[in-house]
Amino acid sequence: MPQSDDFNAPHGRFPHGASAEVVFMRRVLTAALVVILLLALWRVSLVLILTFGGILVAVALRNISAPLGRYLHVSDRVSLLITVLGFAVVVIGFFDLFGTLASQQFSDLVDEIPGSIDSARSWLQESAVGRQILAGLQSSTDATERVLSALPLAGGILGVIGEILLVIVVGIYLAADPLMYVTGVIRLLPPRRRERAREILDVLGLALHKWLIGMTLDMLICGIMVGVGMWLIGVPLPFALAVLSGVAVFVPYIGPLIAVIPGLLLALSVRPMLALYAGFVYLIVLTIEGNISQPLLQRWTVSLPPLVNLLAILVFAPLFGLWGAVLATPLAVALWVVIKMVYVEDLLEDHKS
C-alpha cells in the first residue's frame, strides 16, 4: 500500500516543516486557549448580558433620536440629549400623576394576596375536584420553588436596581456614538470579512429595532385590554393588574401566565363567580394577544417559531439568571439573524457553490 507524503517526509516531519510533536502541542494549546476563553466568558456572563441589555436601550434611543434630529435639524448628540431628557420627564410625570395610585394599588395587591389564597384554598377544599386541584398546585409550587431557588437573582432588589441603571448608562453611551463601537468591533475581523460583518450588524440592528416596536405595542395592547376588562367586571385594583399584565408580556408565555394569578386571586377574594369572569377576561386577552396582535406585530420583525421562543427562555435563564429570562426573546432574535446569515447563507451556501 503506498504511503502518504506526510509519512515519507524526512525525519518524521510534515510537509510544512512542523514535526508531529509541534503540531500536537499547537492543537493542545489552541484547545486550552478555547477552554480558558469560555471559562472567562462564563465568569463575566453577567457583564455580557447587561451589555446586550444596553444595546437594546441604545437601539431604542436611536430609533427615537435619529428621526427627531432630522426633524429638528440638530446634531445626533443634541437629539439624543433631548430624547433622554424627554424620557426622564415622561417617567417623572407618569409617577407624579399615577405613582400614588399605582403605589397604593400595588400595596393593596400585596396585602390582598395572602387572604385571597386562604379564601381560594377554603373554597377548593369543599369539593373533591378542588382537593385534587390543590394537590396538583402543591406539586407544581414545589417545582416552581426549586426552579426559582436555582435562578440567581443577581444580588437582590438593590442589585437589580443597580444593574438596571448600568444598562441605561451603557445604552446612552452606545447611542451617543454607535459608529465608533461598531467600527471597533469590525476592525477585529480580517479585512475581507469586514464588509459582510457590517451588513450582518445592520440587519441585526434593524431586527432588534422592529422587535422593540412590536413588543412595545403588544405590551400596551395587552395591558389596556386587561385593565379595561377587569374594570368592567369589577375586579379590585384594575390599574395594577393592567400594568402587571403589560410588563409580563415582555417574557412570552411564562410572564402572562404568572400575571394571571394575582388577578384570579383578587377576584376570588370578592366572590367565586367574579374569579370565573376574571378567568374569561384573561382567556380572551391572552387568546387575542397570542393569536392576533403578536403574530401581526411579528410580521415586521424576525418571526421566531413559538417553540424557539420558549426554548430560549429555558436555555438563557439558567445561563444568565433573571436577565437571561427577561432578555431571552431579543437574544433569540439576535441569534436567529446571526445563524441565518453567518451559518446558513455564508457557510452552507458557500460550500454548495
Tens of pLDDT, residues 276-335: 899 999 999 999 887 888 777 777 666 677 677 778 888 888 888 788 888 888 998 888
pLDDT recorded at residue 353: 53
What is the span of the domain harbouring residue 25? 1-42
Tell me: do 32 and 181 sit in the same domain: no
Q: Which of the 8 DSSP states describes residue 1?
A: -
Tell me: do 49 and 24 sit in the same domain: no
Q: What percent of the chain has pLDDT above 90? A: 7
Q: DSSP assignment of 11-38, as one string?
A: GGB-TTS-BHHHHHHHHHHHHHHHHHHH
Tell me: do 32 and 134 sit in the same domain: no
Tell me: do 104 and 228 sit in the same domain: yes
- What pTM, to 2 d.p., does this model score? 0.69
Tell me: do 37 and 185 sit in the same domain: no
Q: What percent of the chain has pLDDT above 70? A: 73
Tell me: do 36 and 56 sit in the same domain: no
Contact 207, 302 (CB under 8 A): yes
Tell me: do 32 and 52 sit in the same domain: no
Tell me: do 221 and 295 sit in the same domain: yes
Compute the distance between CA of residue 343 and CA of residue 178 in angstroms, rounded to an integer: 26
Compute the distance between CA of residue 326 and CA of residue 56 in angstroms, rounded to an integer: 12
Tell me: do 83 and 227 sit in the same domain: yes
pLDDT digit string (tens) for the chain, length 353 residues: 444 444 444 444 444 545 677 777 777 787 788 778 777 667 777 888 888 999 999 988 888 888 888 888 888 888 889 999 988 887 777 666 655 655 666 666 666 666 666 666 676 677 776 666 666 655 555 544 444 454 444 445 566 778 888 888 889 988 888 888 888 888 888 888 888 888 988 888 888 888 888 888 889 999 999 999 999 998 887 888 888 888 888 887 778 888 888 888 888 777 878 888 999 999 999 998 878 887 777 776 666 776 777 788 888 888 887 888 888 889 988 888 888 888 787 777 654 55
Tell me: do 95 and 72 sit in the same domain: yes
H-assigned helices in 126-177: 128-150, 156-176
Structural domain count of the chain? 2
Tell me: do 48 and 30 sit in the same domain: no
